[in-house]
Amino acid sequence: MPTTNKMDPRDEQRAVKVWAPPVLPNGRSRAVMALLLSLCCHGGGRRSTARAQLSAVARQIKKAPAYLLLASGFLAMMASVACADPLILAAADTWPTAYLFDGKATGMLVDLVTEAYRRAGHSVEVRLMPWARCLKEAEMGEVDGVFSAFKLPERERFLAYSKEALTVQVIAFFARADSTQSFDGDLAALRDVRIGVITGTSYGERFDEAVRTRVLRNVEQTNTIESNLKKLILGRVGLVPSYRYVALDTARRLHLLAQIREVSPPLDAVPTYLAFTKARDLSKWSEDFDAALASMKQDGTYDRIIGEYLR
């Protein structure tokens, strides 16, 4: 029979069928095999879940030391496969930072992150969802990371941040164009104003603390900036805090730009980051991102991408 360097897919299937873990008590072998195959074939949260389940099985059987050695060896063998997986990142579905176009995630921040990892030789999959869900899935290890996130003490429990800031978000209040509502920098003066916010979103430590301590006591939550701006136009809220370019771009899309105005001074200017789940070690991905983003800022690519969306 002629020899070839290429494995027949049927032989690959047979190889999987032939290999089996050692016989374990209480019929555990089949379960262990399924979990090891899950580690091999899946990425992100599913691999993390399989790893946790393997550890649980190991604790329940007498051959735990030998089994753990086997599992550790298998994981080491699969390290190269794991590194080949795309990084799964979640972002809030918001114009112009991250949104769907022709069925594909795009936007200013999506382009920045994708270009950085292209330079680093990695592939990225971006999933769009409400911001509160982004954070929850990162905490559970269902995604590898989120962007763009403020550094907050309560988030550092489950998120590891990049060193390079992805962007600096200027946060401002917006009111109806015909409103006389003003803001002089004193949040306490807004205690009776109805303010619309997005669930799970931080508007800077000063604003967040004012909400926590009930200095701002009339806050209404919704899931999107679109909903907030529509409520503003209808008079259901008096002010909407937002990242400046997100609010302005969204108002432009909804043909509401002439009906809103930015209230000065800005509420805050806060650096935001790509943040990684602490459910697994993604420090290499973080280091690669930092190096690539720094090079983009130096060679002008960073400013060019932002300019394409904010001109």
Query: How confident is the model over 210-248, as pLDDT tens digits?
Result: 999 999 999 999 999 999 999 999 999 999 999 998 999
Query: How confident is the model over 142-186, as pLDDT tens digits?
Result: 999 999 999 999 999 999 999 999 999 999 999 999 999 999 999
42 vs 80: which has the higher pLDDT: 42
Peptide bond into 148 cis (omega under 30): yes
Of 83, 105, 137, the residue at which a domain comes to its end is 83
Which pLDDT score is estimated for 310? Answer: 78
| Domain match, 259 and 276 both | no
- pLDDT bracket for residue 47 (50, 70, 90): low
> Helix H segments across 61-204?
64-77, 79-84, 108-120, 131-140
pLDDT exceeds cutoff 70 at 56: no
Residue 3 within a domain = no
| Domain match, 60 and 113 both | no
CATH number at residue 215: 3.40.190.10
DSSP labels, 199-227? TT----HHHHHHHHTTSS--EEEES-HHH
| Domain match, 263 and 196 both | yes
Q: Which residues pair with 260 in a beta bridge?
A: 176
Which pLDDT score is estimated for 199? Answer: 93
| Domain match, 244 and 292 both | no
Residue 290 within a domain = yes
Which pLDDT score is estimated for 70? Answer: 53
| Domain match, 149 and 176 both | no
Residue type, 287: E
Residue 183 within a domain = yes
Contact status, residue 270 vs residue 171, Cβ threshold 8 Å: yes
Locate 135 and state its tokens: 């954070």
**What is the total count of domains within the chain?**
3
Query: How confident is the model over 21-33, as pLDDT tens digits?
Result: 444 455 554 454 4
Q: Please state the φ and ψ torsions of residue 232, each to the nearest 5 degrees.
A: -65, -45
Query: How confident is the model over 83-140, as pLDDT tens digits?
Result: 447 999 999 998 889 999 999 999 999 999 999 999 999 999 999 999 999 999 999 9
pLDDT exceeds cutoff 70 at 3: no
| Domain match, 79 and 54 both | yes
For helices 283-299 and 301-310, the axis angle rounded to 10 degrees is 80
- pLDDT bracket for residue 309 (50, 70, 90): confident
Of 53, 83, 113, the residue at which a domain comes to its end is 83
Which pLDDT score is estimated for 2? Answer: 42
Residue 139 within a domain = yes
Residue 149 within a domain = yes
Residue type, 7: M
- pLDDT bracket for residue 80 (50, 70, 90): very low
Mean pLDDT of the chain: 82
Per-residue pLDDT averaged across 258-269, rounded?
A: 96
Per-residue pLDDT averaged across 282-291, rounded?
A: 98
Which pLDDT score is estimated for 180? Answer: 96
| Domain match, 174 and 290 both | no
| Domain match, 161 and 90 both | yes
Per-residue pLDDT averaged across 50-71, rounded?
A: 51
pLDDT exceeds cutoff 60 at 55: no
Contact status, residue 92 vs residue 246, Cβ threshold 8 Å: no
Sign (positive or negative) of CA dihedral 293, 223, 190, 234: positive
| Domain match, 74 and 98 both | no
Residue 1 within a domain = no
- Domain of 203 in residue numbering reads as 168-271
Query: How confident is the model over 7-16, as pLDDT tens digits?
Result: 343 333 433 3
Locate 150 and state its tokens: 């403020």
Residue 250 within a domain = yes
